[in-house]
Amino acid sequence: MDFFDILVSILGSTIRLSVPLVFTALAGLFSERAGVFDIGLEGKMLAAAFSAACVAYITASPWLGLVAGIGVSVAFSLLHGFASITNRGNQIVSGVAINFVVAGLTIVLGQAWFGQGGRTPQLLPQGRFSPIILPGVEALRGIPVIGPLYANVISGNNILTYMAFLAVPISWWILYRTRFGLRLRAVGENPGAVDTAGISVTWLRYRAVICAGILCGFSGTYLAVAQSAAFIKDMSAGKGYIALAALIFAKWKPVPVMFACLLFGFLDAFANFMQGKSVPLIGEVPVQIFQALPYVLTCILLAGFIGVANPPKAGGVPYTKER
């Protein structure tokens, strides 16, 4: 394999590995820009993956799987909202709780229903989102550089992949060009301003966490019904936290979020590629370096060495009217 083929293959898997990160980080974006910290992204993603896999298996329809994934993920969002918005509980603790409940429940239910040690049964091809070949692949095949890139990176992905990258401009548009977005950004900075403007802080924040739930539903579904063909226990494997890191790394802005996710996805793809390979002079680079790199980079950012990352001002603080 020459260098270019390797590059194309790494870029292709970068895209595939970035998709769940993009969905999840955008989910975090909606929630956190509204002032509700969400470390339960991981749990919501996992819950969505499990329910999507179950429903897709039973109905043989990936779309119904997606609906189920979104539904369950939104339900957990509402739970997070109930704890942290309605009851003014600690948002971090609520997120931790949801991650635990889901990590356990998916396996307990999976075992009880299917008896395969927490796995769900393998999906048939029609139960999955399969790759879409874009028009023009054959026509462009002969052109150097562009041809292979188009065929293997741009084309040949499943519908959810395209939706993920479409979700980025849509999220940007919602946040910066709509009434809902304006209010959402405002409530994350100064809920008092929103309240005195006659808007319900509670309802607004609930809508934000519901958005987060929907997006986590997409990412979980992608894991189980597009990338794989079944739910495997703990299949989110920390992606929720990487997405959180990407969100911070992107300073809570939608378009940078996409680039941060692509970067972290690339690190992942590169690590996979490097596994077992030896680099001249250095020797074999341990894969753990690539695993730790997103977190290390985020810490360096947080330390203020790559610009300043200002989280939404009212983030993590339940809103109470002052007396």
Partner 1 sequence: MSQAPAIELVGIDKKFGAVHANKNINLAVAKGSIHGIIGENGAGKSTLMSILYGFYHADSGEIRVGGTPVTIRDSQAAINAGIGMVHQHFMLVENFTVLENLVLGAEGGMLLAGGVARARAELKRLAKDYGLEVDPDAVIEELPVGLQQRVEILKAMYRGAEILILDEPTGVLTPAEADHLFRILGVLRDQGKTVILITHKLREIMAITDTVSVMRRGEMVATRKTAETTVEELAELMVGRRVLLRVEKGEAKPGAVVLSVRNLTVKDGRGVTMVDNVSFDVRAGEIVGIAGVAGNGQSELLEAISGIRMPASGEILIDGEPIGKADPARLRDLGLAHIPEDRHHMGLVLRFEEYENAILGYHRDPKYGGLFLDLDAIRKDAIEKIEKYDIRPPNPRLRTANFSGGNQQKIVVAREIERDPKLLLIGQPTRGVDIGAIEFIHRRIIDMRDAGKAQLLVSVELDEIRALSDRILVMFAGQIVGEKTADAGEQTLGLMMAGIAA
Partner 2 sequence: MNTASLPLPGWITFGLIPLINLVLAFFFSGLVVWFIGENPFDALALMLEGALGSGEGIGFTLYFATNFIFTGLSVAVAIHAGLFNIGSEGQAYVGGLGAALVALSLDHYVPWYVTMPFAILGAALFGAGWAFIPAFLQAKRGSHIVITTIMFNFIGAALMVYLLVNVLIVPGKMAPETRTFLEGGQLPKLDWLMALFGLKLGPAPFNVSFLVALVMCVVVWALIWRTKLGYEMRTLGVSPSAAVYAGIPYARTVIIAMLISGGLAGMMALNPVLGSSGRLQVEFVGGAGFVGIAVSLMGRNHPAGIILAAILFGILYQGGDWVSFEMPNITREMIVVIQGLVILFAGALEYMARPALARLYYSMARKA
- Residues of this chain that interact with partner 1 (CB under 8 A) are 176-183, 185-186, 189-190, 192-200, 313, 321, 323
Q: Which does 186 bind (CB under 5 to 8 A by kind): partner 1, partner 2, none?
A: partner 1
DSSP string, 221-241: HIIIIIISSS--TTTTTTHHH
Residue whose structure tokens are 């987060």:
212
* Residue among 288 and 310 whose Cβ is closer to partner 1: 310
DSSP string, 102-138: HHHHHHHHHHHHH-STTPPPPPPGGGS---BPPTTHH
Least CB distance to partner 2 at residue 129 (A): 28
Question: How far does Cα 5 stand from its chain's mean position?
Answer: 28
Q: Which does 296 bind (CB under 5 to 8 A by kind): partner 1, partner 2, none?
A: partner 2
* Residue among 21 and 194 whose Cβ is closer to partner 1: 194
Count the neighbouring beta carbons within 10 Å of the beta carbon of residue 86. Answer: 13
Rounded to 5 degrees, what are φ and ψ at 278? -105, 135
Query: Which residues in this chain contact partner 2 in the complex, by CB under 8 A?
Result: 37, 39, 79, 82-84, 87-94, 96-105, 107-109, 111-112, 118, 238, 241, 244-245, 248, 286, 288-289, 291-292, 295-296, 298-299, 302-304, 311, 323
Which residues are paired to 157 by β-bridges? 132
* Residue among 2 and 322 whose Cβ is closer to partner 1: 322
CA-to-CA distance for 94 and 99, rounded, in angstroms? 9
The dihedral built from the CA positions of residue 90, 92, 94 and 100, taken in this order, carries a sign that is: negative
CA-to-CA distance for 238 and 130, rounded, in angstroms? 25
Least CB distance to partner 1 at residue 189 (A): 5
* Residue among 151 and 301 whose Cβ is closer to partner 2: 301
Residue whose structure tokens are 């992949």:
161
* Residue among 60 and 92 whose Cβ is closer to partner 2: 92
Least CB distance to partner 2 at residue 173 (A): 28
Q: Which does 26 bind (CB under 5 to 8 A by kind): partner 1, partner 2, none?
A: none
